[in-house]
Each structure stands twice: as C-alpha cells, then as structure tokens.
Amino acid sequence: NPTYTADAKGKATRISSGKVINGLAKKFPWFNGGSADLAPRTMTLMESAEAGHFSSHNYAGRNLHFGIREHGMAAICNGLALCGMRVYGASFFVFTDYMRPSMRLASIMHLPVTYVLTHDSIGLGEDGPTHQPIEHLSACRAIPGLDVIRPGDANEVAEAYRTAMQRKHPAAIVLSRQNVPTLDRTKFAPASLTSRGGYILAEAPGGKPAAILMATGTELDIALKAWEKLTAEGLQVRLVSMPCTEWFDEQDEAYRASVLPRSITARIAVEAGIRQSWDRYLGENGRFVGMSSYGASAPFADLYKFFKITPEHVVDEVKGAMGKCGSPG
C-alpha cells in the first residue's frame, strides 16, 4: 500500500482510492471491476495497458463497463466473486439505494465484494439533495455482515483497502469528492490502527480526557480543528477516528473500553449523515453534529456552514456536553 506524507491541502479520498486500486491491479491479476458509467468520477479505472477493457473482443479485460445500472452491477459482482475473482463495483454513494438487494445477498453469502462509493455527503456540492447521501451510512451499517468504511485521510484509505482485501466479507468503502488534509502521522496515531475500526487519533494533553470527540471521513479534519481549539483552551478532550464501526465492534472489550471508557459520558460524534448509527457510542448524554434533513444545492463549504458542521459548532457542542456531564476538563 502507498504511504502518504502530511499535506495540509490533501486530496479527495476518491483520488487516494484510485491510486490504491491501480496499485492493487498491478499485484493481483484476479483483481477486476468497474463502475456504473462513472469511472472518471469515481476514480476507478485501472490504467495499465495490461488491465485492458472487457468486451466481446477482449474477455481478458479487467475494466468492466457495467452501464447505468447499479443493481445489475452489484449482481454481476456477486457472480464474479462466486467464481473466485476479487471484484469491485463503483458508483456514487447515494445510488446504493439501487444496489441494496445484491449487497444484502453478498453479505448472506459472505462474498468479498468491494463497493467503491464516492460523493459521500453534502460535500459533493451543487448536484443537490437528490445526489447527496444523508441516511445512507446508517442504511448500509444496518446490513449484517457488510463492513462500511469511511476513511478520514489518504493513509486511512490505503489501510481500509489493505484490511478489507484480507477479509471474507463485502466491504463498502465510502469516499469524498472534496479534498481532505493528509494527517501528520508523526504527530498523530498511525493509520495502521484503521484495521481496529476506531482508535485514539489524539489524546487529551493531560492524558485524562473529560470528553471524547469522534468523527469519520471528511469530518475528521473538522473534529481535529475543534480538538485543537479545545486543547488550546486547556480542555481535556480525546479525539477518536472511527472509520469502521463494524471492525471496532469486533475488537475485544478491553480495547473498546480503552478507546471509549464508560466513565466518560461527555461524547460527541461528527459525521455528515444522520445520527441513527451513532447512538450506541454516544449514550444518553452524547451529542451529534451532522444532518437531520436533506441537503441543498450550493458549494460544499457553504453547505457545511449552513448545516453547522463546522469546528466552531463542534467546539460549542463539546463544551455543552462537558457542562451537562459535570466535566470541567
């Protein structure tokens, strides 16, 4: 897997994903896949001449052009997986609504299909609410046996693929259109911990956190900026990256308790989707910064401000949770 150095500008996680896919394609000749007529936008084209394009003239081609039919694509991926191929199917995340029956069957049959799902939130911008996934993270997390992974930077993307490729489950890798910084892993916890599903990215400066701030995907950077503001004020807050709740739930109780101690009830989650799949981590006193309605058509930065998914609002929610729980920090 590639390793990415710290970069404040960063790149969209769909772009990092494309680089990983091309790296995998060079190493594994049985790795193939394609998209529902969205390869340039999902960044899923295998670019090497050896990969080729599947057609009636080239049955050895590994780039599959499924056409605009997500349900058919997901069903074909199941068939290829049953034949021993390691296969991926790509589309915009919102179109998993069309893929769900085949995703469910992949989970029932324990097929290691990888779904590469881009344009993962209101962050896709001007296409508006018809294309902006809101309930889809919770909907996919509701499928038993489906690993839903939403990496927060380029190195988490690489680790997401590394871990998913070793498992006998279907995996949905959920990726952004907009850029996200590549974190400085000499300063923060290593991205290899992605395989744990959730991990302490940055500890409270005093080592005794009074609140826990959790985030996934592009909101990890928003949570990190909030964490920096809070710690600058002397508040004791732990920052947790939670790229895959399924993997986190598989960890032993001791590890889960080390990341999310029951004694710390001031908890805040940040994710540009609905709250539904977070309640078991937030508890009664937890707060959620995300979406409770459909999106709108505007540049992504304007949308994040409008829906209050900002570092400033996260700071306010953390302070509110700490006050409610009697945690002075």
Q: Does one domain contain both 158 and 22?
A: yes
Q: Does one domain contain both 231 and 173?
A: no
Over residues 43-100, the pLDDT tens digits come to: 999 999 999 999 999 999 999 999 999 999 999 999 999 999 999 999 999 999 999 9
Over residues 169-201, the pLDDT tens digits come to: 999 999 999 999 999 999 999 999 999 999 999
Query: For residue 285, what is the domain's CATH number?
Result: 3.40.50.920
Over residues 278-321, the pLDDT tens digits come to: 999 999 999 999 999 999 999 999 999 999 999 999 999 999 99
Q: Does one domain contain both 75 and 193?
A: no
Longest Cα–Cα distance of the chain, Å, equals 69
Q: What is the pLDDT of residue 290?
A: 99
Q: What is the pLDDT of residue 3?
A: 85
Domain that holds residue 69: 7-181
Q: Does one domain contain both 110 and 229?
A: no
Q: What is the pLDDT of residue 1?
A: 66
Over residues 17-53, the pLDDT tens digits come to: 999 999 999 999 999 999 999 999 999 999 999 999 9
Q: Does one domain contain both 97 and 156?
A: yes
Q: Which residues contact 214 (CB under 8 A, 6 or more apart)?
A: 198, 223, 239, 240, 241, 242, 267, 268, 269, 270, 278, 281
Owner of token pair 């290593």? 190
Out of 70, 159, 246, 317, the active site residue is: 70
Q: What is the pLDDT of residue 2?
A: 75
Question: Which burial class, exposed, middle or buried, applies to 174 when counting CB atoms under 10 A from its CB (0-12, 13-18, 19+)?
Answer: buried
Known catalytic residue: 246? no
Please check whether residue 1 lies inside any domain of the structure: no
Q: Does one domain contain both 146 and 262?
A: no
